[in-house]
Structure 1
């Protein structure tokens, strides 16, 4: 087959060769540098999605490229019958960042980290789990059982586990749902997939008190919110709590697949030989990439930068007449709209060279690289505001709100 040269040719080949699990791709991307990506037709885009909160250092960051290249040239993969230095030191480093005594199980993704945590909860001798409405924990069967969105769940039911969903942020509903039969409560500090939805101050602290009262594990899913995304290493630390389980992925490898299930205190000993495993989890290349990410976040003070840049993005959009609210922390940014036009806004912003995400019909999500500059943030705000302006008259016209703008 001759090589494709245009974006349309690549899209046609994509539809002929790949399963239709994601729908038609929005673009075919061929290169990235810093906060920018280029498509197959040579168009440049400012990337405020970052692989869905993955590329915390942007694209082709020299530190990650160097770490991966050197490690791959030294030792690329071994089975987990053996240990490697990057694996051990990364586990120690994550425990140090959390400030806890515990143990780490490395995976290749957030879904796998949550599957490991799911299995860990079964070792308590209890089987019930409590999750929240609006949650997203992954697509495999166990992680899906904890994800509340009916459209994701319904085609695959019955799902494993005995899971009760309670309204996110409702302390009394959580209190009523938890008793001595519940193995774990799993919560996101900020619901990323839902569009940076926050539970309200004190919610995680109340969840910690409730779970301790009943001998129940508190499992905090930091797959999207962790690794500096919110301006802190972990979003849950803002409430001063220590969970029993923390799951990580996305930004940890800066684009190289890696996840982690971290168990704290007594929970660290629940999984024993034969209970769980992985072929690629914690391989030295992924661990080396994670070290490079953590080094760069520390050396360049990017957590503080994420806080400042996130505030800049929110402030730049908050006063637009179509914006109902802004939410999140750091560079996990949610933009609530007064009308359900987020997909049209997202498509029009993309056509103008900025990548964002429509998390819901009335909600946008921005999760850019933590290296995003103030000028780039302002550039994105200007484009988004211009597109939002086009939709303000449409809110009072007879034109369908679901009709895409010309």
Structure 2
């Protein structure tokens, strides 16, 4: 093998996909409730995005950001239109979007400290790894950047006790994804915003996993009365084409003047084409209302179906981002689901994470619920039903 062993890969080779279905090299079909980890929000090879990319492939693949890119400007306008934000910096990933957020916050405020939260995940570059509140992500890389401090998530009192006037920003996920699909409470999130205003700090919301319709709103913070200064986005933004973005308020524009930050590939013509086609479909009120309705159905039906099983501790989440916490290790369930023709992923050792495409059908959700219930009962026969 010529690859570094950075991934614990499943014994599965996927060769094709359409909508919610993927097919392996043996011809077996799977119901995909991973979506590339919240990336394929419109399913695999959505016709609108594929068509837009093919059209762009026939015209121009890449030019430098030193030239005018009208399609990139259009993508930025689409991205900020449903938000309280004004400007966009396009990059290639969520980690890069969070790097840009950290840099602009420090430069704008003239301060260095960033507050994040335990069990958070913000990326694997050195700054975003330092921002991440999980030791397993940081282990073995030596001294981290010293300007990050971690508070307990959903702890309103801990936030209110902050009194450091050297805080440049507080960076928070509305739902902790890699940390276990843990939704933030309204009281906690409001306290975070209030503390930012008290300290003269910026509010950064990491929407890399929760954004682009995943929770039934363009961005998850919109379920609450929040007014972020900066929002990071990636994953679902390009329907599988690599692209990330940092959105920010107009007051930050001069901080990222020419030469202060940049990227070679970010927002190139192919990326812009993917973003425009994706957002045209997802940032639609009727589409998002349907996502919210389906998300409520999925969570309620999962809760009702799995409630009798003692092994299930909690079903939580919002929209098409659901976590099922077990009393036992969840990896055997992930393997068993795969054998049954369904793909899911972990969010910590005891949490099954479901991230179906936003346009998943009710029949597909029902099938997934039945498969989950069957597998959990078979895997934990030793635990009697309640």
**TM-score surpassing 0.5?**
yes
Alpha-carbon distance in structure 1 between the residues aligned to 2:276 and 2:100? 22
Which of 335, 339, 345 does residue 324 from structure 2 map onto? 335
Residues 321-364 of structure 1 deviation map (CA, whole Å, 9 limit, x = unaligned): 23222211110111122x12311111101110000112122211
Alpha-carbon distance in structure 1 between the residues aligned to 2:289 and 2:11? 32
Alpha-carbon distance in structure 1 between the residues aligned to 2:163 and 2:258? 30
- In the other structure, the counterpart of 1:129 is 114
Deviation at 1:305, TM superposition (A): 2.1
Structure 2 stretches of 5 or more lacking a match?
A: none
Query: Conserved in 2, the CA contact under 8 Å of 1:247 and 1:261?
Result: yes
Alpha-carbon distance in structure 1 between the residues aligned to 2:277 and 2:229? 27
Single out whichever of 298-307 and 355-364 deviates more from structure 2.
298-307
| SS class of match (1:380) | helix
The answer as to 2:156 corresponding to 1:168 is no
Alpha-carbon distance in structure 2 between the residues aligned to 1:128 and 1:73? 46
Alpha-carbon distance in structure 2 between the residues aligned to 1:167 and 1:288? 40
- In the other structure, the counterpart of 2:365 is 377
- In the other structure, the counterpart of 1:77 is 62
Deviation at 1:121, TM superposition (A): 1.8
Alpha-carbon distance in structure 2 between the residues aligned to 1:203 and 1:300? 28
- In the other structure, the counterpart of 1:353 is 341
Alpha-carbon distance in structure 1 between the residues aligned to 2:144 and 2:275? 33
Alpha-carbon distance in structure 1 between the residues aligned to 2:97 and 2:244? 6
Which of 192, 197, 212 does residue 197 from structure 2 map onto? 212
Which of 236, 239, 248 does residue 251 from structure 1 map onto? 236
Which of 210, 215, 226 does residue 230 from structure 1 map onto? 215
Query: Conserved in 1, the CA contact under 8 Å of 2:84 and 2:227?
Result: no
Deviation at 1:312, TM superposition (A): 2.3
Within-5 A mapping of 1:6-405: 16-100=1-85, 102-123=86-107, 124-298=109-283, 301-319=286-304, 320=306, 321=309, 322-337=311-326, 339-395=327-383
- In the other structure, the counterpart of 1:5 is none
Deviation at 1:84, TM superposition (A): 0.9
Alpha-carbon distance in structure 2 between the residues aligned to 1:183 and 1:49? 35
Please report the TM-score for the alignment, with normalisation by the length of structure 2.
0.95
Deviation at 1:196, TM superposition (A): 1.6
Alpha-carbon distance in structure 2 between the residues aligned to 1:315 and 1:210? 34
| SS class of match (2:157) | helix
Distance 1:178 1:164, change over 3 A: farther
Distance 1:272 1:178, change over 3 A: farther
Deviation at 1:300, TM superposition (A): 8.6
Deviation at 1:298, TM superposition (A): 4.3
Alpha-carbon distance in structure 1 between the residues aligned to 2:78 and 2:89? 13
Alpha-carbon distance in structure 2 between the residues aligned to 1:238 and 1:81? 37
Alpha-carbon distance in structure 2 between the residues aligned to 1:269 and 1:342? 48
Alpha-carbon distance in structure 1 between the residues aligned to 2:261 and 2:54? 30
| SS class of match (2:315) | strand
Runs (4 or more) in structure 1 with deviation over 6 Å come to none
Query: Conserved in 1, the CA contact under 8 Å of 2:78 and 2:279?
Result: no
Residues 21-48 of structure 1 deviation map (CA, whole Å, 9 limit, x = unaligned): 0023341110000101011111110000
Deviation at 1:161, TM superposition (A): 4.1
Deviation at 1:19, TM superposition (A): 1.0
Matched pairs, number: 379
| SS class of match (2:260) | coil
Deviation at 1:294, TM superposition (A): 1.2
Distance 1:268 1:326, change over 3 A: farther
Structure 1 stretches of 5 or more lacking a match?
A: 1-15, 397-406
Residues 295-324 of structure 1 deviation map (CA, whole Å, 9 limit, x = unaligned): 122469331222222222222221322322
